[in-house]
Amino acid sequence: MSPAQWSALVFILLSSEKPLDEFDLEKYSASDEALLRLLPVLKASSKALLRRCDLAKRSWELLSSVVISSSSSLPELDLSYSNLQDTGVRCLSAVLKNPLCKLEALRLKGCFLSDISCVSLVSALNSNPFHLTHLDLSSNELQDPGMKQLCSFLESPHCRLKTLRLRSCSLSEVSCEFLVSALNSNPSHLTHLDLSSNQLQDSGVKQLCGFLESPHCKLETLSWQ
């Protein structure tokens, strides 16, 4: 589309009487140009769906400006199935570290992440831990070293996570040991935990059940099959 057509689209979307609850970039074009042209719409939305995107450096700068903007009301960001890899997570972590970042939900499902991504992510969350309550890292090759990194955040007294999804992350029973230790240290917030489609084996599930017996356990849902 021409610049004039993009401007017209932005005007129409912002003029709608219905509040912009959700901005889905895929509906228009999962490209850097579309993100640039539709930035005013993103700023006015409460949920950003940027799935299946391959963001360039300029797009990360634009996204950062929205997330940390005092005029933005964006509490939820979904980058699932985007080709972030470890380098993309480093860019994202720079956004999360900013004290003005108020994201409450972050979804990174199927983003080609490894345990190295967890190092950057945990560093950012430890710097600014007070807002994020929902984190989805499913379908990434985090493995046990990645879980160990995540648990260093979970055991922090500043961690506020309520929902953690780690479905199909190549975890073993070793991850359960890290997780149970972290939750015993800080059991007060996590209420929803998804460990489905991992090789936890009987010994891993037994460790989880040991935590479930604890009077301090606040889990309401637990998936491991």
**Per-residue pLDDT tens over the stretch 142-155:** 999 999 999 999 99
Q: What does the pLDDT read at residue 224?
A: 86
Per-residue pLDDT, 63: 83
Q: Provide the pLDDT for residue 225.
A: 78
Of residues 29 and 213, more confidence is placed in 213
Average confidence score pLDDT of the chain? 89
Write out the H or E segment, with its range, that includes residue 27: none
CB neighbour class for 39 (10 Å; exposed up to 12, middle 13-18, buried from 19): middle
Q: Which of 56-60, 84-88, 101-105, 150-154 has the lowest mean pLDDT?
A: 56-60
- Residue 106's nearest CA partner among 148, 150, 143 is 150
On the question of pLDDT at 178 being above 80, the answer is yes
Of residues 199 and 13, more confidently modeled:
199
For residue 18, pLDDT beyond 70: no
Task: Work out the pLDDT band at 39, boundaries 50, 70, 90.
Answer: confident
Q: Dig out the tokens for 191 from the structure.
A: 């209420």
In one letter, which amino acid is 203? S
Cα–Cα dist 217/186, whole Å: 9
**Higher local confidence (pLDDT), 49 or 74:** 49
How many angstroms separate the CA atoms of 213 and 211, rounded? 5
What is the reported pLDDT for 71? 63
Give the residues across from 114 on adjacent strands.
141
Higher pLDDT among residues 219 and 15, named by residue:
219
pLDDT at 203: 94
Encoded tokens for 29: 């074009």
Higher pLDDT, 67 or 18: 67
Instruction: Give the count of beta carbons closer than 10 Å to the beta carbon of residue 157.
Output: 9
pLDDT at 17: 65
pLDDT value, residue 177: 95
